[in-house]
């Protein structure tokens, strides 16, 4: 049992580097690909996921001793659904425009694999402190990846970042980056880049 | 006849033009995770088609007969996820009883259909599009499942061939699959504009 328990340091390192949600675990792909046409929706999405992940991890960690094995997925999804409803209503009340841009992808956080995976892999086994750290580091890792992907796509498709024009005047927008194909190919190349780095570091050590 | 034509258009539209995987990015995780072998991909597609049809129709009925008349829209997501989880449980029991080998080969991916974004996504999109009659909901849900099956089978076929190809080391695994998926969406964009 001793070697299985995670420490807070493991959780912190996992979320930010060794197990970066999208790039390493290949989880939570749907929102990643769908909302990254621009940086603003990507950041909103990342923060909503962070909020839901934090709340659900704390909740699951608190009730981990009451869970029955065959009902756990149902309990996880119901807990998550409750918090996603809160996040959705919050967004709709305070940033109605953003809520419209994100559309059904906010309620789709319910079935975001990252949150369920963390509930299963960490929160249902660890104490509340480790779960909190894990949720925060995973959420931040996810947000960072989303923002990088969104910056690349926004820069190439309209020449702006955060709606501020940054490229020269005669820049010809690359419309394909706004479309699904841009999302898939950019993410694929990002993963390839990360793979290259990790393979090197493995060889070096 | 008009009615039939409308349903046919809706079916073609959801399978080819508004395909959930290619244009809405839904169900990407099983799309990348289970598409290694053609037979498994096909079985997965059928299971998803069954669950999505059941879930689409049931959530629409619950939405229109219970939640909206009584003003309970705030519990919508919780209800949707309960319906989907129930439908998946049904499929799981059925497969375990009648097709044990298939059940074993699915492993963890079967309960994970609950968290397949394509299913919840379709229920939400039906709500968003404001579809008002039951036959259209049924056709759209069934078509979404067929579209998913088609996408995952095409992908599995390509990946079986890809195993024999000489892929650069840094692209092996997920990256090359993603790039292939990107090219597939590009190909399917050719259908855009065929019907609304």
B142-196 tens-digit pLDDT: 999 999 999 989 988 888 888 888 888 778 777 888 888 888 888 888 887 776 6
Q: Nearest by CB to B74, from A30, A85, A179: name it.
A: A85
In the predicted model, residues of chain A with pLDDT beneath 50 are 1-3, 203-205
The DSSP bridge partners found for residue A164 are A161
pLDDT given for residue A3 in this prediction = 41
| DSSP label at residue A165 | E
Q: Could you give the count of Cα atoms lying within 13 Å of B143 in the half-sphere of its Cβ?
A: 21
Place of tokens 């079985």: B43
CA nearest to A126, candidates A7, A2, A16, A3: A7
CA nearest to A133, candidates A125, A123, A124: A123
The ipTM (two decimal places) reads 0.80
Beta carbons of A142 and A42 less than 8 angstroms apart: no
B59: closest CA of chain A, how far (Å) = 15
pLDDT given for residue A2 in this prediction = 37
pLDDT given for residue A5 in this prediction = 61
pLDDT given for residue B196 in this prediction = 60
**Secondary structure tally for chain B: helices H, strands E:** 9, 0
pLDDT given for residue A55 in this prediction = 93
pLDDT given for residue A1 in this prediction = 32
Contact list, A77 vs chain B (CB under 8 Å): 81, 85, 114-115
Q: Nearest by CB to B28, from A29, A77, A103: name it.
A: A29
- Provide the terminal-to-terminal Cα distance of chain B, rounded to the nearest Å: 19
Nearest residue of B to residue A25, measured between CA atoms = B174
3-state DSSP assignment of residue A166: coil
3-state DSSP assignment of residue A164: strand
A91: closest CA of chain B, how far (Å) = 14
pLDDT given for residue B53 in this prediction = 92
Element at B174 (helix H, strand E):
helix B174-188
Backbone angles phi, psi at B68, to 5 degrees: -70, -45
CB atoms within 10 A of CB B96: 13
Contact list, A108 vs chain B (CB under 8 Å): 26, 117, 120-121, 124
Nearest residue of A to residue B123, measured between CA atoms = A104
In the predicted model, residues of chain B with pLDDT beneath 70 are 35, 108, 195-196
Say if the Cβ atoms of A188 and B82 lie within 8 Å. no
Q: Nearest by CB to A30, from B76, B117, B171: name it.
A: B117
A44 vs A37: CA distance, rounded Å:
13
The pTM for the full model equals 0.84
A120 vs A180: CA distance, rounded Å:
30
CA B104 from centre of chain: 21
pLDDT given for residue A205 in this prediction = 37
Contact list, A93 vs chain B (CB under 8 Å): none
């Amino acid at each position: 049992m001793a070697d299985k328990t995670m420490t807070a340091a493991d959780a912190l390192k996992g979320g930010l580097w060794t197990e970066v949600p999208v790039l390493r675990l290949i989880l939570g792909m749907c929102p990643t690909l769908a909302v990254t046409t621009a940086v603003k929706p990507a950041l909103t999405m990342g923060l909503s996921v962070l909020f839901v992940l934090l709340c659900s991890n704390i909740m699951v960690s608190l009730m981990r001793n009451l869970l029955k094995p065959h009902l756990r997925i149902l309990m996880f999804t119901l807990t998550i659904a409750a918090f996603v409803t809160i996040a959705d209503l919050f967004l709709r009340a305070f940033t109605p425009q953003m809520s419209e841009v994100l559309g059904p992808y906010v309620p789709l956080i319910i079935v975001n694999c990252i949150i369920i995976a963390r509930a299963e892999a960490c929160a249902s086994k660890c104490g509340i402190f480790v779960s909190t750290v894990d949720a925060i580091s995973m959420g931040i890792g996810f947000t960072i990846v989303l923002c990088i992907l969104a910056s690349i796509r926004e820069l190439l498709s309209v020449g702006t970042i955060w709606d501020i024009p940054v490229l020269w005047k005669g820049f010809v927008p690359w419309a394909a980056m706004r479309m699904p194909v841009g999302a898939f190919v950019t993410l694929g190349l990002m993963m390839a880049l990360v793979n290259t780095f990790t393979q090197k570091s493995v060889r070096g050590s | 006849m008009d009615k039939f034509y409308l349903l046919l258009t809706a079916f073609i539209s959801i399978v080819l033009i508004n395909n959930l995987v290619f244009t809405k990015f839904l169900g990407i995780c099983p799309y990348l995770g289970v598409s290694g072998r053609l037979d498994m991909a096909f079985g997965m597609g059928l299971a998803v088609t069954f669950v999505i049809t059941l879930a689409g129709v049931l959530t629409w009925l619950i939405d229109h007969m219970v939640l909206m008349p009584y003003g309970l829209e705030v519990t919508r997501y919780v209800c949707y996820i309960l319906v989907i989880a129930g439908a998946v449980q049904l499929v799981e029991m059925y497969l375990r009883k009648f097709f044990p080998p298939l059940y074993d080969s699915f492993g963890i991916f079967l309960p994970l259909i609950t968290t397949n974004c394509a299913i919840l996504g379709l229920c939400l999109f039906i709500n968003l599009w404001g579809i008002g009659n039951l036959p259209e909901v049924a056709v759209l849900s069934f078509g979404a499942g067929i579209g998913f099956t088609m996408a995952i089978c095409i992908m599995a076929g390509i990946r079986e061939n890809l195993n024999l190809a000489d892929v650069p080391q840094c692209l092996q695994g997920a990256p090359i699959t993603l790039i292939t998926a990107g090219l597939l969406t590009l190909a399917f964009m050719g259908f855009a504009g065929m019907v609304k």
